[in-house]
Amino acid sequence: MNKKYSDFFNPEMETMTRPQIEKLQLERLQATVAHCMNSPFYKKRFEDNGISPSDIKTLDDLRKIPFTTKQDLRDTYPFGIASAPLDRCVRLHSSSGTTGNPTVILHTQKDLDEWANAVARCLWMVGCRPGDVFQNTSGYGMFTGGLGFQYGAERVGMLTVPAAAGNTKRQLKFFTDFGTTVVHAIPSYATRMFEVMEEEGIDPRRDTRLKTLVIGAEPHSDEQRRRIEQMLGVKAYNSFGMSEMCGPGVAFECREQNGMHIWEDYYIVEIVDPETLEPVPDGELGELVLTTLDREAMPLLRYRTRDLTRVLPGKCPCGREHKRLDRMQGRSDDMIILKGVNIFPIQIEQVLMKFKELGGNYLITLETLESNDEMTVEVELDQLFTDSFGRLQALEKKIARELHDEILVTPKVRLVPRGTLPVSEGKAVRVKDLRKKF
Ligand code: AMP
Ligand code: ZN
């Protein structure tokens, strides 16, 4: 590998060969499974299934262990899956589900240290260094994008600006006053910040030092990323994480921007068919299942994330052999079934983002009209787009045709002026399902 030592935050882990990765994974898996016997939940699971830690002799033996699901976390709310006593834990994060109990994730000090190391590794990989100014626009609190990035960015040695969510004009003032070079934002908010910059007469290339954007937490298309890069004059890197796996720092794009390296010293990756739960070959879409390898408070074995993605085959030119995950297609629960066709919101976004007349904000509404289920796609126009009514109508038709080619149903398309559609402070709400359930 013709890389310098300084290209890596953790050269030992980042430059491992595949056999070295697998050897370390087996050691860590065996230690994790043994440690899980301190968890009342896993102890019972193993007993009920007639397995014991000594059955895990190879990495393939992982498949003897049953999956852990979000429902398991809810059923054992709040602390029933923990493998460490509560007096060794120093923080918890909780994600609010829309139904039932929230899920709770506990951390010891060592867990938090490793989490910061993982996030620092990601940020270092895309060129963040001491001397950079890192501004985080995530909410600080239960959402892990706040504290997770905060400690990771500090570990890199950057000057951090914990701006937190909202108040866009203040965010922009921080950019210019503090010389922010790196920003973490969810994609919908990155677009929003640019719109406010335009309104305020701020040119990101002329008036700021922004060069790197970290975007994640919600599905977005490559088209959306390119658009954001173009608007802000930055390189934007996709960042994947989830509270159950700590938070951010699970998988991250390298400078090649072609798939997110998942850190295999921390996680074992499986991609399974969501119906049969059998593994699918590299390159095929399936549900991501993760096993933590380095967690004290709350290790999780074969956790079904519900996120759909694939492992990209082949080696990454950056030299890291840690597997690469493709951009998330969405969650299996986000899939829309309309007129018998399976549709992911991201497919719609990909089509919309190809039209330069359109802005970044859109809303898909599903409703039942005269006992037929219909889809309406409302999308904001870019800028203060003024054009004749006739041309707008023609554009709506063209978009509807292209959407049909992609999703095989013809939605109604409505172009609306910029700023019309709701903007949420957290993750964007892209789908409103008002269908009558018969
Ligand atoms: P939370 O636990 O609230 O942080 O939410 C985690 C979920 O956010 C994941 O399971 C994914 O569904 C979604 N998510 C996180 N990062 C990304 C990303 N880069 N692309 C798409 N979805 C993401
Ligand atoms: Zn790479």
Residue 310 has pLDDT above 70, yes or no: yes
Q: Of all residues in the chain, what percent are helix, strand and coil, respectively (each to 5)?
A: 35, 25, 40
Stretch 104-123: mean pLDDT:
98
The reply to whether 62 falls in a domain is no
What is the tens place of the pLDDT at every residue in 138-167? Answer: 999 999 999 999 999 999 999 999 999 989
Domain boundary among the residues 300, 333, 366 is at 333
What is the tens place of the pLDDT at every residue in 317-369? Answer: 999 999 999 999 988 888 899 988 999 999 999 999 999 999 989 999 999 99
Which range among 43-57, 80-94, 140-154, 329-343 shows the weakest confidence by mean pLDDT?
329-343
* Ligand number, closest to the Cα atom of 254: 2
Which range of residues forms the domain containing residue 116?
86-333
332 lines ligand 1 (CB under 6 A): no
Domain boundary among the residues 282, 315, 333 is at 333
Q: Residue 73's pLDDT band (boundaries 50, 70, 90)?
A: very high
C-alpha 321 to ligand 2 mean position (Å): 8
Domain shared by 281 and 167, yes or no: yes
What is the tens place of the pLDDT at every residue in 155-207? Answer: 999 999 999 998 999 999 999 999 999 999 999 999 999 999 999 999 999 99
Confidence at residue 438, expressed as pLDDT on a 0 to 100 scale: 59
Domain shared by 182 and 321, yes or no: yes
Domain shared by 96 and 204, yes or no: yes
The reply to whether 161 falls in a domain is yes
Residue predicted with more confidence, 391 or 250: 250
C-alpha 83 to ligand 1 mean position (Å): 25
Residue 4 has pLDDT above 80, yes or no: no
242 lines ligand 1 (CB under 6 A): yes
Domain shared by 278 and 407, yes or no: no
C-alpha 242 to ligand 1 mean position (Å): 5
Residue 252 has pLDDT above 90, yes or no: yes
Domain shared by 192 and 317, yes or no: yes
The CATH number of whichever domain residue 428 belongs to comes to 3.30.300.30
The reply to whether 318 falls in a domain is yes
Stretch 82-96: mean pLDDT:
94
292 lines ligand 1 (CB under 6 A): no
Q: Residue 99's pLDDT band (boundaries 50, 70, 90)?
A: low
The reply to whether 411 falls in a domain is yes
Q: Residue 10's pLDDT band (boundaries 50, 70, 90)?
A: very high
Residue 62 has pLDDT above 60, yes or no: yes
Domain shared by 350 and 312, yes or no: no
Stretch 24-36: mean pLDDT:
98
The reply to whether 154 falls in a domain is yes
Domain shared by 310 and 385, yes or no: no
Q: What integer best gives the mean pLDDT of the chain?
A: 94
Stretch 276-293: mean pLDDT:
97
3-state SS string over the chain? Answer: CCCCHHHCCCHHHHCCCHHHHHHHHHHHHHHHHHHHCCCHHHHHHHHHCCCCHHHCCCHHHHHHCCCECHHHHHHCCCCCCCCCCHHHEEEEEEECCCCCCCEEEEEEHHHHHHHHHHHHHHHHHCCCCECEEEEECCCCCCCHHHHHHHHHHHHHCCEEECCCCCCHHHHHHHHHHHCCCEEEECHHHHHHHHHHHHHCCCCHHHHCCCCEEEEECCCCCHHHHHHHHHHHCCEEEEEECCHHHCCCCCEEECCCCCCEEECCCCEEEEEECCCCCCECCCCCCEEEEEEECCCCCCCCCCEEEEEEECEECCCCCCCCCCCEECCCCEEHHHCEEECCEEECHHHHHHHHCCCCCEEEEEEEEEEEECCEEEEEEEEEECCCCCCCHHHHHHHHHHHHHHHHHHHCCCCEEEEECCCCCCCCCCCCCCEEECCCCC
Residue 437 has pLDDT above 80, yes or no: no
Kindly report the protein residue whose alpha carbon is nearest to atom 10 of ligand 1: 242
The reply to whether 187 falls in a domain is yes
Q: Which of 214, 218, 306 to mutate to test the pocket of ligand 1 (most atoms within 8 A of CB)?
A: 218
The reply to whether 78 falls in a domain is no
Q: Would you mind telling me the total number of residues written for the chain in this entry?
A: 438
The CATH number of whichever domain residue 315 belongs to comes to 3.40.50.12780
Which range among 119-123, 248-252, 263-267, 430-434 shows the weakest confidence by mean pLDDT?
430-434
Measured CA to CA, the distance from residue 63 to residue 51 in angstroms comes to 11
Structurally, the chain folds into a number of domains equal to: 2
Measured CA to CA, the distance from residue 251 to residue 22 in angstroms comes to 18
* Ligand number, closest to the Cα atom of 238: 1
Confidence at residue 415, expressed as pLDDT on a 0 to 100 scale: 95
Domain boundary among the residues 317, 333, 349 is at 333
What is the tens place of the pLDDT at every residue in 362-390? Answer: 999 999 998 899 999 999 998 766 677 78
291 lines ligand 1 (CB under 6 A): no
Confidence at residue 427, expressed as pLDDT on a 0 to 100 scale: 86
Domain shared by 251 and 138, yes or no: yes
Residue 1 has pLDDT above 70, yes or no: no
The reply to whether 53 falls in a domain is no
24's CB contacts (< 8 A; 6+ apart) are 16, 265
Confidence at residue 6, expressed as pLDDT on a 0 to 100 scale: 85
pTM score:
0.93
Domain shared by 324 and 345, yes or no: no
Domain shared by 392 and 309, yes or no: no
- Residue 265: how many CB atoms within 10 A of its CB? 20
Domain shared by 97 and 213, yes or no: yes
Residue 98 has pLDDT above 60, yes or no: no
Domain shared by 378 and 397, yes or no: yes
Three-class secondary structure of residue 262 per DSSP: strand
